[in-house]
Structure 1
Amino acid sequence: MLTSSHAESPLQTINHPLLVEKKIDLIIKRDDLLHPTVQGNKWRKLKYNLLELKRQQCQSLVTFGGAFSNHLYATAMASKLFQIPAHFIVRGPHIDPQNPTLRFAKACGVNLHPVTRIEYRRRHDSDYLAQLQSQFPMAYIIPEGGSNQFALQGCQELAQSLPKSDYLCCAVGSGGTLAGLLSGVDEATQVLGFAVLKGAHYLNAEVTKLNPCAATKTNWQILSQFHDGGYGKFSAALWQFCQHMNHQYHLPLEPIYSGKMFYGLWQLIQQDYFPRGSTIVAIHTGGLQGLDGLRYRQLI
């Protein structure tokens, strides 16, 4: 039986000499603690998609992702929990049976369909989606990363659950989380998105495409200087920062999404980007399963 509720995630206040010196209040929205597996922005994006799947009386779902995708990992468990058969279109022509993300998906009963990178590039094409709808006639199709209009509803709810702040920070991959947050945040709050990939200027257009109201809002921007080498790349300094935050503040981070955002935020605080007396809320969007993939590839 599909229900729409996770318990609301907790808040964590960080106490650090730097924050005391700068007179900054830093509050972390621990969305990584929403659920052991279906956590963070992945649950926020899936919630209303799954309710729409139920409303349309679809019998299965189809979605897309790379071999180490956080979206596929979370959707696999949601498929198992809510007993929704799932088909994953996986980028790359072969399935590595030892890949921890894909092993987990298989354990959840998901059907994996590897495709070439050329075919995978068609994942947004209407003709290709029509072919998939023919192949899986009673399936509900969720885009890569889960970012669509239904995803925005869940991220808007997240914004509405937060305490008042001067600044709201989140990692940005596809732009869906940021687009949804803008619908629920107070106009007086400045929203800072930290792009996790290189050459991310196009994401401004993606956000306004997902949420046309964003085009008239002046309280948001995407910072593109904290990608630390590009998507999936990270420096030794960033990984050391992630480990320090875990050991010192029991704040587990991975260096692909939330780790980059927190590391960038820390640098901005050091540089006096924020006025003294500011309150900052930073969203931990989950994705901790990515650490297993990094270990598997011997990157950490």
Structure 2
Amino acid sequence: DVAAVACGTGGTLAGLAAGLAGSARTLGIPVLKGGFLTAEIRALQTEAFGGPRGAWSLDERFHHGGYARVPADLEAFAADFEQRHGVPVERIYVAKLLHALVTLAAEGAFPRGSTVAAVITGRPFP
């Protein structure tokens, strides 16, 4: 139902949204502040596909101060996630994405029974 991805430049979201079938939608979580990604993603899709493709949206609340910023609350969330699930969590992109999804689920953003996939595009730093 939802494929969620952390966004830097928006390229992954632009392509992912264009490739999803049916009623699936893409949710982007920008890791940079500034609110500029909507226009960037539209431009990328226009350049690549001739116009907008797929259902997508951005939730810009989870940048945690901007690129490469990892405040204490995000660090605590990531450490807890790692401990609970035994999965290492990269802090600059992935922690922000996972924090957003947990928060959005608690807010009721995804109807019960929805399938939500977190698209992980990188691995944790060694």
TM-score (norm. length: structure 1)? 0.39
Q: Which residue in 1 is equivalent to 2:41?
A: 207
Q: Is the 8 A contact 2:18 2:53 kept in 1?
A: no
| Residue of 229, 238, 242 corresponding to 2:74 | 238
| Residue of 15, 21, 32 corresponding to 1:197 | 32
Equivalence map 1:280-295=2 (5 Å)? 280-289=116-125
Report the identity percentage: 37
Q: CA RMSD in A?
A: 1.7
Q: Is the 8 A contact 1:170 1:193 kept in 2?
A: yes
Specify whether residues 215 and 205 from structure 1 end up closer, same or farther in structure 2 by C-alpha distance, changes over 3 A only: farther
Specify whether residues 180 and 217 from structure 1 end up closer, same or farther in structure 2 by C-alpha distance, changes over 3 A only: closer
Cα deviation for residue 234 of structure 1 reads 2.1
C-alpha separation between the residues in 2 aligned to 1:263 and 1:219? 22
Q: Which residue in 2 is equivalent to 1:252?
A: 88
Q: Which residue in 2 is equivalent to 1:267?
A: 103
Cα deviation for residue 239 of structure 1 reads 0.8
Cα deviation digits, residues 179-208 of structure 1 (max 9, x gap): 111221114112100000111x22112112
> Unpaired runs of 5+ in structure 2?
none
* Greater relative contact order structure (CA < 8 Å, 6+ sep): 2
Query: What is the count of residue pairs matched by the alignment?
Result: 124
Specify whether residues 205 and 277 from structure 1 end up closer, same or farther in structure 2 by C-alpha distance, changes over 3 A only: same
Q: Secondary structure at the match of 1:274?
A: coil
> Unpaired runs of 5+ in structure 1?
1-165, 293-300
Which amino acid in structure 1 is aligned with residue 120 of structure 2?
Answer: H
Q: Is the 8 A contact 1:167 1:189 kept in 2?
A: yes
Q: Mark the structure with the bigger radius of gyration.
A: 1
Q: Secondary structure at the match of 2:36?
A: helix
Q: Secondary structure at the match of 1:197?
A: coil
Which amino acid in structure 2 is aligned with residue 258 of structure 1?
Answer: V
| Residue of 18, 22, 45 corresponding to 1:183 | 18
Q: Is the 8 A contact 2:42 2:52 kept in 1?
A: no
C-alpha separation between the residues in 2 aligned to 1:267 and 1:174? 23
Specify whether residues 234 and 210 from structure 1 end up closer, same or farther in structure 2 by C-alpha distance, changes over 3 A only: same
Specify whether residues 192 and 214 from structure 1 end up closer, same or farther in structure 2 by C-alpha distance, changes over 3 A only: farther
Cα deviation for residue 217 of structure 1 reads 4.1
C-alpha separation between the residues in 2 aligned to 1:223 and 1:270? 15
Q: Which residue in 1 is equivalent to 2:2?
A: 167
Q: Is the 8 A contact 2:8 2:30 kept in 1?
A: yes
Q: Is the 8 A contact 1:192 1:220 kept in 2?
A: yes
Equivalence map 1:66-215=2 (5 Å)? 166-199=1-34, 201-212=35-46, 213=49, 215=51
Which amino acid in structure 2 is aligned with residue 207 of structure 1?
Answer: I
Cα deviation for residue 287 of structure 1 reads 4.1
Specify whether residues 195 and 209 from structure 1 end up closer, same or farther in structure 2 by C-alpha distance, changes over 3 A only: same
TM-score (norm. length: structure 2)? 0.89
Cα deviation digits, residues 86-142 of structure 1 (max 9, x gap): xxxxxxxxxxxxxxxxxxxxxxxxxxxxxxxxxxxxxxxxxxxxxxxxxxxxxxxxx
Which amino acid in structure 2 is aligned with residue 274 of structure 1?
Answer: F
Specify whether residues 214 and 270 from structure 1 end up closer, same or farther in structure 2 by C-alpha distance, changes over 3 A only: farther
